[in-house]
Every structure is written in structure tokens, then in C-alpha cells.
Amino acid sequence: MTAVAEKKVRGHDGRMSLGAHLREFRKRLFRAALGIVVGGVVGWILSDPILSALNQPVRDIVDSQGRAASLNFTDVSSAFDLRLQIAFTVGVIISSPIWLYQLWAFLVPGLVRKEKQYAVGFVLTAVPLFLAGATAGWYVLPHMVGLLTGFAPQGSTSIIDARPYYDFVLKLMVAIGVAFVLPVLLVLLNFAGVVSAKAILKSWRIAIMVIILFTAIATPAADVASMFLLAIPMIVLFYTAALIATVHDRRAAKRALEPEKDLSQLGF
């Protein structure tokens, strides 16, 4: 946008009008939606290997438990609907840097320089951490499917509806992905001055208890290995966030003392 055009949009006081805000929102929304659509096309192309990967834990039931199991589609359109759902999910994940940037770019005019840096740092850190959490959820998925279906009596057949099964997988991966991002939110709140490092460290018992409770709910209670597999990296991320917050608070306290030191040297 040129300087003349920006002046027309913002007016004399430097603020954007309501119409300019709506046009900016429409532009950012269109670009975010376009990114999701392009990612959705990639997701549709990848739907076959994704469906095969989703079906693998079900096929493993035959080998591990010695009984029949299958992933089924209950009506004519359910296979097509599931592929659309997979394509949309993959599209949102693949295009996350695009729509997160568009969201940030829309909010930038209302942020000061330091808050912009915090927002950029949050986006750049949150995306890979979310993907790492989703990957961890995908890794424990076969153990969970095998354990949960193991409660069926011997000689029975596990006929699993594809749509609820996919919803279960999606909720598991999203929940663990969001849990991996929460420590970054703690750091952001600390940098913004909302939460101190001392308060974060003081709540370590509550944090560990919540993490253990969350992983116990996200994984079957009997699958202790999967529970600890998820809990350990989350605890490490929590203490990493506390360490970063501690370093930040010490630097902030040191900077606050420097003006007082300068004034004392001048004789005030």
C-alpha cells in the first residue's frame, strides 16, 4: 500500500475507519480461506494414504488379539464425507502458517512494537509445537486402539464405524497438540507482564497434577506407557517455560535498576 493510499484509508488521526477495517478483514479472510482451500486439495490427494494409516491400528487387532476387526462405512456417502473431512483437516494444518499470519497481520495495527514481537514469536513457536503434539498423539494411537478394543470378549468381531473413529483420532491429536502449545502461552503471558516466573514455579505441583490427569484422560488409564510418553515432554515444556520466564524476569529487574543506578551516580 502506498503512502497516499494508506493516508486515505487511515484518515487525519492515523486511525482506520470502520469501512477500512471491514475491507482489511475481508482481504485477510479471503487469503486465509484460499490457503485452506489449497491445503485441502493437497489433503484430498493424500486422503488415500491417510485412510490406510488410520486403518492400520484396526488391522493390527487381527495380529495382536487374534480376532476379526474392520473399519466400516455405514452409508453410501460416508466414505466421501470422511475424505472431505480429512481434506479439510489436512488443509487447516498445512495452511496454519498462512492463516495464523493473516490473523496476526489483521491485529498488528492495534499492537505496539513489543507486542508485535511477542505475537510473531508465539506464532513461530506454536505451530511446530502443535505439530509435535499431534505427532505424539498419532504415535500413541495404535496402543490406545489395541487396548480399548481388547475389552471385547473373545470370539467377537470389532466393527468400527469410520466417522466416529476418525473423530476420536482427530480429537486426540488436537487435544495433545494444544497441550504442547500451552507452555508457549505461559511464556507469552510472562513477557506481557501478566504472570511472573515465581508464580509459574510456585504452581509446579498443580501443573504436574493437571498434566498427569490430562494424559490419563487422553490415554486409557491402563496404558501407563502411553500416559508417561505424553506426560514427560509436557512436563519438560512446562519447566522450559518457567526457565525462560525466570531469565526474562531477572533481565527485566536488572533493566529496572539501571536508571536508579545512573541517578545515584549523578548525585540524586
Residue 191 has pLDDT above 90, yes or no: no
Residue 165 has pLDDT above 80, yes or no: yes
Higher pLDDT, 200 or 110: 200
Q: What is the DSSP string of the chain?
A: --HHHHHHHH-TTSPPPHHHHHHHHHHHHHHHHHHHHHHHHHHHHTHHHHHHHHHHHHHHHHHHH-S-EEEE--STTHHHHHHHHHHHHHHHHHTHHHHHHHHHHHHGGGS-HHHHHHHHHHHHHHHHHHHHHHHHHHHHHHHHHHHHHTTSPTT--EEEEHHHHHHHHHHHHHHHHHHHHHHHHHHHHHHTTSS-HHHHHHTHHHHHHHHHHHHHHHS-TT-HHHHHHHHHHHHHHHHHHHHHHHHHHHHHHHHHHHHHHHHHHTT-
Q: What is the pTM of this model?
A: 0.67
In the predicted model, what is the mean pLDDT of residues 229-240?
85
pLDDT at 39: 92
pLDDT at 50: 87
Residue 243 has pLDDT above 60, yes or no: yes
pLDDT bucket at 260, cuts 50 / 70 / 90: low
| Least confident interval from 7-21, 47-61, 213-227, 232-246 | 7-21
Alpha carbon distance 216, 210 (integer Å): 10
pLDDT bucket at 143, cuts 50 / 70 / 90: confident
Nearby residues of 188 by Cβ (< 8 Å), 6 or more positions away:
118, 121, 122
pLDDT bucket at 105, cuts 50 / 70 / 90: confident
Per-residue model confidence as pLDDT tens digits over 173-188 = 877 887 888 888 888 7
Alpha carbon distance 183, 166 (integer Å): 27
Under a CB-based contact definition with an 8 Å cutoff, are residues 10 and 16 in contact? yes
Residue 71 has pLDDT above 60, yes or no: yes
In the predicted model, what is the mean pLDDT of residues 94-107?
78
With the C-alpha atoms ordered 125, 130, 133, 134, is the resulting torsion angle positive or negative?
A: negative
Residue 171 has pLDDT above 50, yes or no: yes
* Beta-carbon-side half-sphere exposure of residue 93 (alpha carbons within 13 Å): 21
pLDDT at 37: 93
pLDDT bucket at 9, cuts 50 / 70 / 90: very low
Burial tier of 63 (Cβ tally within 10 Å: 0-12, 13-18, 19+):
exposed
Nearest to 187 by CA among 177, 178, 175, 200: 200
Q: Residue ranges of the domains in the chain?
A: 10-265
Mean pLDDT over all residues of the chain? 78
Higher pLDDT, 196 or 103: 196
pLDDT bucket at 114, cuts 50 / 70 / 90: low
Per-residue model confidence as pLDDT tens digits over 13-49 = 455 677 777 888 888 899 989 999 999 999 999 989 9
In the predicted model, what is the mean pLDDT of residues 145-154?
77
Under a CB-based contact definition with an 8 Å cutoff, are residues 166 and 211 in contact? no
Residue 8 has pLDDT above 50, yes or no: no
pLDDT at 4: 43
